[in-house]
Structure 1
Amino acid sequence: MSSAQYQEIIDALNDIKTQLGPDDAVTVSAAEEVETKASEELEKLRQELQELSDVILETRREIASLSSSKNGQKINSVTDQLDAVVGDTETATNAILEAVETIEDKNESLELHAGSPEEVESIEAISNAVMKIYEACNFQDVTGQRISKVVSTLSFVDERISKMIDILGGEEELQELEGIELAGQFDDDVELSGPRPEGHEISQDEIDSLFD
């Protein structure tokens, strides 16, 4: 409803009020009060819808920042590098195990031909060292599993972000949101749209004023 239309209604009500008796005037006054309250409720609803719209727009902007090609490349690069770490670690571990198996075979041959206590002691020391190497190499399997979980988590996040982008209209539409700044949300003079810069923090008095 425009301001002119609203004024026409008010003028018409005033004309009717002058033509009616006291009882009828009370009825008109009550109608005006109802209309005033309705206008206030509509204005409150409009403000709440505007705040909701700003929140949705801010959410879309945040998702737009995540959807940029650089961020997408970073996620892919991280997962590729982690996969490479798992692969390189596995390759190195296999090479170590093959070398240890060779040492173990040669040590068993030496044990068959050991003729002195010193040789037997050395062979036992080698056997103990081989066992420690085997135990230490168990880290590769555990590390590989942990890194694989990280890769899976990153892939899951990337997939969900892509789905959210599609729901919100695709990357092209979200890119149009870059550079759009939202007006700050205030309660009296206290800004509610996020943390303030250093030196402009909200004081305790301002916080207390929100509950007055």
Structure 2
Amino acid sequence: MKRVSTDHLDRIVEFVRARREDDVSLGDVVALAELTVESLSSFFRSLDMAVYRELSEIATFITNMKAEIGRLQPNDLKQSRIPAAGMELDAIVKATEKATDTIMGAAEEVMAADPAQPGYKALVDERMMLIFEACSFQDITGQRVAKVIETLQHIEARVSRFAEAINAADAEGYMTDEERRREERKVRNILHGPQLDGAGADQSQVDALFSKPEGEGGSQAAIDALFK
């Protein structure tokens, strides 16, 4: 930003010094005011330009932000893709429950049947066919899971591009009190859920822990530490 003109300031100082010991007339006051206005005019012009540039940059940033939000297509995510993914997951749960009930029901009938009774083989064959048909749910479930994964990848790509465009950084303390309580409860009660292959404690670690003599590591604290 430009500074006040030094030449104009020097002229003001010289004017004041020259009139310091003389009576100051109205003309002198007017002349001093003119010099002051002249010296500050360049400063205010530069100030106006600086404010204009900053406001212009803010306006450009807001315009770019709106464009990026538009590319994010939040309405499409909210009204179409996310609800569709939710319905697919709901269908997966229902199909899994139905298949499980069918398989378990057929298996119970086979186990309860008397092999010595007539028609036992026909019953077993019929129930086995029901089990095979129920197992076919995996194919449809796999297709539904693939659609959900595609939606998640789509959302991830858009959010990542948006974050890069606005140079976003992770904020501290983003969790609500309820979310924080749930996370603390998961850690406290070891509610990590099913682990992926290669993650978490494997069976050999669990077996080794429980095979130790009492007092040599089989305490509750050691068990909790294993699953954290």
TM-score under structure 2 length normalisation: 0.40
TM-score under structure 1 length normalisation: 0.43
Higher RCO (CA 8 Å, separation ≥ 6 residues): 1
